[in-house]
């Protein structure tokens, strides 16, 4: 795990706190931040939006303490650190993590403008790991580009509980109403921003929520939450490689087995109230089992997740707001070792990510033939990687469309029926990497570009002028969208216009050599069939 100290050292190499350090007085408290001279930005790090929550219970918005002073110059405790080695953390006594971790960070440009729009980041990591202190999510470069484009925004990133601590589920959890705690943490953070960001110069009516992977799925859940009631907490959204459908939100038997294993592992299986017993187990005892070897996802709870995501989209029960959404060309959600039709069907049926029956699985094989020229990674012709499986490219295509591509198209189609300002993309950079271990444009490929961190120890942009220029362009598009709901206000002369999806079902294709617009017609029949499966 990257410590807060190393993170700050990596980001702010020569900066220091001096007399210009910012102070903000608000109803929440008096916040003493730090000034980042390299970017001319004020930072408020580790701002607590909720006190330490009761384990396996919802968080509560931090109370107002208008006269209390807070030093917010360092990142707060991670809920679960980026790249954390759980064995190492066990040996260190889990001192790098904690349950008092519900903090957010604010990056504000020094500008004469007030009422700045907000771009609020929700990290991914499968809802199993992640942290705002991950240096790949440094928002200073992004905010800097917004200023250079004369459309300044405030960047905010939020921590939330993950793995069992944020998404534990069982009959016991359901009966106590404690589902989807990580998502509820995010909603609590939204409310803190709504109540207090004006004191920092932000406009609470102009919040764009933004996430990638599990962060984008989180955004999709907030679109569907409470039958589409955004509660005035956000006006727009950006979803990178994730959407409003899946991953699994049923599977009660699966979750119950994991819950039972957890209680047995920490000595609570014989308790009269196993949930209460789990709350009393010391953190260093339960943490290894809460984070290791288990995958906890969101579930239907009747309110924040009211129903299957696809049902919400079909019924129009979602927040109708402008969005940017997209996927990478070769997301790569298949598995190795698929050699036959029977194995492909077996993998589709046994995956916990999809709610697909055998008839539907066999239909998918018809719609996605075992033709390597059609499989993923796309654009490689007849080339195959038999060591990954004789039907690896076929299964990769099916898995990616089930997980990412088809849900992206359904959300774009559904949202564009109600609002303008729907912009869809396909990320296609870098392209055709011939390195055997880096095949295609995979999941997470866009992250170095959208954050633009040029520290070569952290991101792979390197010295490539084409990569750096593409990074600046996409950062300006994202911040321009947050500023006035139009990604075309980027100020770059040589880019094609990005059309609204409602007027022209299309994708803006991001490439380092030449970006362009394409019709959104790839794998039409297969994607249409996938979007009839309720999941």
Cα–chain center distance at 393: 26
- C-beta separation of 410 from 420 below 8 A: no
In 82-190, which ranges are E strands? 103-109, 116-122, 154-158
Nearest to 143 by CA among 96, 91, 107, 175: 107
Strand pairing category for 422-427 and 506-510:
parallel
Active site residues: 213, 331, 443
- C-beta separation of 505 from 493 below 8 A: no
Residue 188, classified by CB atoms within 10 Å of its CB into exposed (0-12), middle (13-18) or buried (19+), is buried
- C-beta separation of 268 from 141 below 8 A: no
- C-beta separation of 289 from 258 below 8 A: no
H/E segment holding residue 398: helix 392-400
C-alpha–C-alpha distance, residues 173 and 273, integer Å = 11
Q: Is 78 helix (H, G, I), strand (E, B) or coil?
A: strand
Query: Residue 483: phi, psi to the nearest 5?
Result: -75, -50
C-alpha–C-alpha distance, residues 477 and 484, integer Å = 11
251: number of Cβ within 10 Å: 16
Residue 191 makes CB contacts below 8 A (sequence gap 6+) with 61, 233
127: left (phi over 0), alpha (psi -120 to 50) or beta: left
Q: Is 475 helix (H, G, I), strand (E, B) or coil?
A: helix
Residue 46 makes CB contacts below 8 A (sequence gap 6+) with 72, 74, 75, 76, 103, 105
C-alpha–C-alpha distance, residues 324 and 335, integer Å = 29
């Amino acid at each position: 795990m990257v410590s807060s100290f190393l993170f700050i050292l990596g980001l702010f190499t020569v900066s220091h706190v001096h007399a210009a350090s910012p102070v903000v007085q608000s109803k929440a408290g008096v916040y003493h931040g730090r000034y980042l001279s390299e970017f001319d930005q004020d930072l408020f790090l580790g701002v607590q939006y909720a006190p330490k929550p009761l384990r396996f219970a919802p968080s509560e918005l931090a109370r107002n303490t208008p006269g209390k002073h807070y030093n917010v110059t360092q990142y707060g405790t991670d809920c679960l650190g980026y790249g954390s080695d759980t064995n190492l953390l066990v040996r260190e006594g889990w001192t790098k993590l904690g349950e008092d971790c519900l903090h957010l960070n604010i990056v504000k440009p020094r500008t004469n403008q007030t009422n700045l729009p907000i771009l609020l980041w929700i990290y991914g990591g499968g809802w199993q790991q992640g942290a705002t202190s991950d240096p790949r999510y440094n928002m200073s470069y992004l905010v800097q580009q917004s200023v250079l484009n004369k459309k300044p925004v405030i960047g905010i990133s939020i921590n939330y509980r993950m793995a069992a601590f944020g998404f534990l589920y069982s009959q016991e959890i359901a009966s106590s109403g404690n589902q989807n705690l990580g998502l509820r943490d995010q909603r609590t953070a939204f409310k803190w921003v709504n109540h207090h960001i004006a004191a920092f110069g932000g406009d609470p009516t102009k919040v764009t929520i933004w996430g990638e992977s599990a962060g984008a799925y989180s955004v999709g859940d907030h679109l569907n939450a409470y039958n589409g009631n955004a509660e005035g907490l956000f006006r727009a959204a950006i979803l990178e490689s994730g959407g409003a459908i899946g991953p699994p939100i049923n599977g009660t038997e699966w979750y119950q087995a994991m819950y039972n294993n957890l209680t047995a592992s920490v000595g609570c299986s014989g308790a009269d109230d196993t949930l209460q017993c789990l709350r009393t187990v010391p953190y260093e005892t339960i943490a290894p089992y809460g984070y290791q070897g288990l995958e906890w996802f969101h579930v239907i709870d009747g309110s924040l997740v009211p129903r299957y995501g696809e049902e919400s989209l079909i019924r129009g029960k979602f927040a109708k707001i402008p969005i940017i959404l997209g996927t990478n060309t070769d997301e790569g959600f298949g598995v190795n070792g698929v050699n036959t039709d029977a194995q492909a069907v077996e993998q589709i049926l046994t995956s916990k990510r999809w709610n697909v029956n055998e008839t539907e699985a066999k239909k998918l094989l018809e719609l996605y033939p075992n033709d390597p020229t059609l499989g993923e990674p796309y654009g490689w012709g007849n080339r195959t990687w038999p060591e990954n499986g004789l039907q690896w490219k076929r299964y990769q295509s099916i898995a990616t469309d089930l997980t990412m591509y088809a849900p992206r198209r359904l959300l774009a189609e559904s949202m564009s029926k109600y609002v303008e300002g729907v912009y869809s993309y396909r990320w296609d950079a870098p392209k055709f990497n011939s390195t055997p271990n880096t095949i295609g444009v995979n999941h997470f490929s866009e992250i170095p570009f959208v954050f633009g961190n040029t520290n070569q120890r952290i991101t792979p942009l390197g010295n490539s002028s084409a990569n750096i220029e593409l990074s600046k362009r996409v950062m300006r598009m994202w911040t321009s969208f947050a500023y006035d709901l139009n990604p075309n206000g980027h100020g770059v002369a040589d880019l094609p216009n990005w059309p609204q999806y409602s007027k022209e079902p299309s994708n803006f294709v991001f490439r380092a050599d030449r970006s362009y617009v394409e019709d959104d017609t790839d794998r039409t029949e297969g994607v249409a069939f996938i979007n009839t499966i309720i999941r």
